[in-house]
Every structure is written in C-alpha cells, then in structure tokens.
C-alpha cells in the first residue's frame, strides 16, 4: 500500500500528460481505446485519492480538473483533426462513425459544429487547456488565489456547460446522431461544473443561499444524477436501435 501511495504521489501529475500523448497520437483512430484510456486515467485518479496521502481540497480539485481537462483536450483535438480531414476529403467517414446512430461525420459537418464562426473543437482545445493550466497552477502551489480568480474559473466552466448542453440537444435531437467524442466533452464538462461549484461553496467564494449551497455541495451525487439523465435521454432517443442490438 505504501508503494502505491509513493508512486501515485510522485508520478500522478505526469499521468494526464502521458494520457494526452497516447490518446491523441497513438489511439485517435480507435474511439473505443480512447474511452478505455480515459477510464483508466479516472480510475488512477480515484486510486490516488483513496490510497494516497490525504491532500488538501485544492489539490484534490486540481487533480480532477487536470484529468478532466486532459480528456476534454483529447476529444477536442481529435474532433479538430477529423474536421480538417472531412474538409479536405468530403467523402471520408470519420473514425468515430460506427453505425447509423453512432456517427460523428454528420455532427462534424453540421453548422452547429461551428456555432461561433470557427469549429467548436478549436474553442474546446483553448478552453480545456485554460482549465488544465489553472489546475496545474494550483498544483504548483498557488493555493491562496483570490475570490475573483475562483469566480472567473467557475464562470468559464458554467458558460462551457451551457454551451455543451446546447450542443447535446442539437446533436441528439436536431442532427439526430451520437458523436462519441462529443459525449466525452459533455461528461467531463458537467463533472467540472459540479466539482468547481462545490469547492467554491465550501471555501465561501460564492454564496447561493443555505439550501442551494447544501444541495450543490453533494458533488458526487450531482455528477451521478447528471450522467443518469444523459444516458437515459440517449436511450430514449434511440430506444429501438439500442434494443435491436440485444
């Protein structure tokens, strides 16, 4: 157990960087392996919190933000590559297009994929890199950050969550296709929101009233409920197709 503690404490911050390299440069044409690598990274983060030395709340949050941002960067980067390849070769089928329902190409080619005049995935690279950098700043020792800094971070994550929610609706109910890399973006963004909100409430950087503060402090439960809602909506949208696979 002590050996696990030592290894995770010493090398944890290297893991997201290794994940980025492996997922983007070695696994990007295999969406299943990218998901597997993402799951492994999350499992190692849970292990670091469970087996490692008890860390300060700031460090625990920084660990999660680095990991979630790394997954977001990966999904955005791969979607950017797929976008460029589809522009240069319109007949090409994206690597994450696996079935009539699970298909990235129609989503990438839609007008919603460039909502602000440039590909959303480019914005994602910038946004998740900003979160990654902020988390690494905390990990490097910048713990006594101002209330304005934390509120700015939370506002950015909140805006990203709103944008991701809109993209979820557009992709699932308007375009009618499930993009697996887009789904990674939805999942990590909602997790970032609940984790950052709970921390800001705990440290009194924001105050939303006693009842709402208490509700939003249950970050694990909120993440779980959000994921259940997402997967329930995905099941309902294509229930006939999923049942046909059984």
- Give the pLDDT confidence of 191-202 residue by residue, as tens digits: 999 999 999 999
**Which CATH number applies to 2-244: 1.25.40.850, 1.10.10.10, 1.20.1440.130, 1.10.3720.10?**
1.20.1440.130
77, pLDDT greater than 70: yes
Residue written as token pair 């006693």: 210
CB proximity list for 121: less than 8 A, separation 6 or greater: 76, 77, 79, 80, 83, 113
127, pLDDT greater than 70: yes
1, pLDDT greater than 70: no
10, pLDDT greater than 90: no
Helix axes 180-202, 147-169, angle to 10 degrees: 150
Confidence of residue 2 (pLDDT cuts 50, 70, 90): low
C-alpha to C-alpha distances, 188 to 17, 53, 90, 208, 238, nearest whole angstrom: 17, 25, 30, 24, 23
240, pLDDT greater than 80: yes
Confidence of residue 142 (pLDDT cuts 50, 70, 90): confident
Confidence of residue 90 (pLDDT cuts 50, 70, 90): confident
Range scoring the smallest mean pLDDT among 35-39, 115-119, 190-194? 115-119
Measure the CA angle with vertex 58, ends 147 and 35; round to 5°: 115
């Amino acid at each position: 157990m002590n050996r696990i503690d030592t290894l995770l404490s010493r090398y944890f911050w290297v893991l997201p960087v290794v994940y980025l390299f492996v997922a983007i440069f070695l696994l990007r044409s295999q969406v299943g392996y990218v998901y597997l690598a993402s799951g492994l990274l999350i499992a190692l983060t849970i292990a670091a919190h469970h087996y490692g030395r008890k860390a300060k709340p700031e460090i625990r949050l920084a660990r999660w933000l680095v990991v979630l941002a790394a997954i977001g960067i990966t999904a955005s980067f791969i979607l950017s590559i797929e976008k460029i390849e589809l522009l240069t070769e319109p007949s090409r089928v994206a690597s994450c297009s696996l079935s009539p329902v699970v298909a990235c190409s129609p989503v990438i080619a839609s007008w919603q994929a460039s909502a602000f005049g440039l590909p959303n995935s480019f914005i994602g690279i910038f946004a998740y890199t900003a979160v990654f950098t902020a988390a690494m700043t905390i990990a490097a020792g910048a713990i006594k950050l101002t209330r304005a800094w934390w509120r700015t971070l939370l506002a950015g994550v909140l805006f990203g969550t709103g944008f991701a929610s809109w993209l979820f609706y557009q992709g699932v109910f308007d375009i009618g296709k499930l993009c697996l890399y887009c789904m990674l973006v939805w999942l990590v963004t909602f997790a970032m929101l609940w984790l950052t909100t709970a921390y800001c409430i705990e440290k009194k950087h924001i105050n939303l009233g006693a009842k709402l503060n208490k509700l939003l402090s249950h970050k694990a439960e909120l993440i779980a409920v959000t994921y259940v809602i997402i997967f329930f909506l995905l099941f309902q949208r294509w229930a006939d197709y999923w049942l046909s696979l059984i």
